[in-house]
Amino acid sequence: MRKLIYIFSFLSLVGCSKDWLELDQPGNIDKPYFVDGETAFEAVIAAYDVQAWRNNIVGLWAVGSVMSDDAVKGGESNGDQQGMYDMMNFNATPQTDIPHWIWDDMYRLIARSNFAIDILVEEDVDGNKVLEMDEGNRTRFIAECRFLRAYAYFRLVRNFGGVMLYTSAEDDGTNHGEDISANKPRSTASEVYDQIVADLTYAEANLPATVALAEQGRATSGAAKGLLAKTYLYQENWGAAKSKSEEVINSGNYSLVPNYANVFSSGQQWGSEVIWSINMVEDLDGHWGEHEGSWLSIWFGDRDMGWGYGFKCPTEDFVQAFEPNDTRLEASVVFDGEMIPGTFGGAPHDFTGGSWNPPTGYMSQKYLIPDNERPITADCNGNIDYIFMRYADLLLIHAEASMELFLISSDPSDETDAKSSLALIRQRAGLSAYPDAATISSYKETYLLNHEELRAVVYHERRVELGLEHDRFYDLVRWGDASTVFQNFDHLGLTFGKTNFVQGCSELLPIPYYDIQSSNGLIEQNPCY
């Protein structure tokens, strides 16, 4: 099988064309094309394709980190990516571009998933499937699309709360994923989560446990189980979250890679730790605006010293969160004057004399492509995969769910389970299996947030293990810690507007203005916008 990302990029019928998205009823026009399993697979690929879009990637990594205490926007100036700046300082409005990007991309993913499902399940008047194909492949394709639809709704409910639910391309009125919301009011967050659980339950039962190397990027039952465990975590269904994460852990299909830095290395990615990612390959053309290649390194790399735009700069608060000798710090943060072999011709980083220096004095190390691995062309085309879920996250989900069960029932087996998962994470980082009392007392989670010892350790480990990825803001919100953290945020005397966070308002993003307007009163805006 061809590399998935190349298929994504060059499908002429259902791939990346905005024109396709803007057809009033593309299903009625395009369905005659889909006549067998091969053409049906192209419809499935078109759904996967949405994950490779630049706007979606920026929306994921920028929101999760830049809206947290882990990072600030960076870039040339406040006006460089104004939308990201407004997200960072909690001044986003219904006209801000990044909420718009998230909303559009996720509904585009839902629309394409629904379209593919519809052609796969369509029956004639006699009850026979219209599309003749292998039934095993049909079931797998449906499961993949239901997984992708669940992922899209998970992203939407985390960012916007209850949203419009569509489970068929025939029920949205427009079929194009841009104004998909125009004819339907918002469902509750609980209803959205119920749909996510239903889709993932189907997906885990009907997806393969593993995929061949040539199919990397396609959904597996492990990915469905992992996202289901995470969904249960957000619902505070601790027992289900623990049970489902244990299914992933006990499957034997995943493990921590020995060297933490290798998870994010272009040369050693797609290892045993990756549960679901989108496989990216170098774009040999390198044209601006295309998306065959990865955007991660160029968006978050250093401007003056090499190949990058300098966004998502780590904060002092994030750097200070690491314990002494924690190997994850060097793998996460680039320091001023640091020498990185193979990077920028072997020259040390200099954050003092350039025109676009990181405003915090730090640059993100994760997903940095060194000189000796840089693409042939200079624009937005690296081969760094987009990792959406990895095994360490599942261990931490298991630890958190076990911790919460222990604090409810005092069952010592739950405490043991939490500490066992934490030990795997910490020992990979060169630390003791469990921190001593003095170390725990130094955690912000202890002295500022007043969490119980085990909860403080779990929360701390989620921060340093998954730092600068895409969960921190959402973790702070679901834990109820966001207001306290942001009101006490201080980066060497600077707040970067993070103290603008308003409890009861800033937890959710504004729904895009045009959707509110086009709904004729059906869609209610989130509070305070």
pLDDT at 473 over 70: yes
Q: Residues 126, 46: one domain?
A: yes
Q: Residues 179, 61: one domain?
A: yes
pLDDT band at 124 (very low <50, low <70, confident <90, very high): confident
Q: Residues 453, 331: one domain?
A: no
Task: From 334, 362, 384, give the residue that closes a domain.
Answer: 384
Q: Residues 74, 153: one domain?
A: yes
Q: Are the C-beta atoms of 293 and 283 separated by less than 8 Å?
A: yes
Instruction: Pick the closest to residue 110 from 60, 169, 24, 59 (CA basis).
Output: 169
| 43 falls within a domain | yes
pLDDT given for residue 25 in this prediction: 33
Mean pLDDT of 421-431: 98
pLDDT given for residue 178 in this prediction: 43
Task: From 365, 384, 403, give the residue that closes a domain.
Answer: 384
Q: Percent of the chain scored above 70 by pLDDT? A: 82
What is the maximum alpha-carbon separation in the chain?
A: 74
- Sequence-distant (≥ 6) Cβ neighbours of residue 374 within 8 angstroms: 307, 382
Q: Residues 316, 400: one domain?
A: no
pLDDT band at 324 (very low <50, low <70, confident <90, very high): very high
Residue with tokens 């005659």: 32
| 281 falls within a domain | no
Q: How far apart are CA 304 and CA 45, in angstroms?
A: 37
pLDDT given for residue 26 in this prediction: 37
Q: Which residue has the higher pLDDT, 106 or 10?
A: 106
- Sequence-distant (≥ 6) Cβ neighbours of residue 174 within 8 angstroms: 24, 180, 182, 183
pLDDT given for residue 338 in this prediction: 78
Q: Are the C-beta atoms of 360 and 314 separated by less than 8 Å?
A: yes
> Domains in the chain: how many in total?
3
pLDDT given for residue 351 in this prediction: 73
pLDDT at 273 over 50: yes
pLDDT given for residue 371 in this prediction: 63
- Sequence-distant (≥ 6) Cβ neighbours of residue 520 within 8 angstroms: none
pLDDT in tens, 186-219: 999 999 999 999 999 999 999 999 998 888 899 9
Side-chain-facing half-sphere of 317: CA atoms under 13 Å: 24
- Sequence-distant (≥ 6) Cβ neighbours of residue 87 within 8 angstroms: 62, 63, 66, 67, 73, 96, 98
Least confident of 246-250, 337-341, 377-381: 377-381
pLDDT given for residue 374 in this prediction: 65
| 205 falls within a domain | no
Identify the domain containing residue 426 by its residue range: 389-482
pTM: 0.91
Structure tokens, 426: 């910490």
Q: Residues 410, 471: one domain?
A: yes
| 256 falls within a domain | no
pLDDT at 306 over 70: no
Q: Residues 350, 380: one domain?
A: yes
Q: Residues 55, 178: one domain?
A: yes
Least confident of 64-78, 298-312, 313-327: 298-312
pLDDT band at 172 (very low <50, low <70, confident <90, very high): low
pLDDT in tens, 429-461: 999 999 999 999 999 999 999 999 999 999 999
Task: From 443, 467, 482, give the residue that closes a domain.
Answer: 482
Q: How far apart are CA 525 and CA 417, in angstroms?
A: 42
pLDDT given for residue 176 in this prediction: 40
Q: Residues 179, 32: one domain?
A: yes
Q: Residues 376, 426: one domain?
A: no
| 252 falls within a domain | no
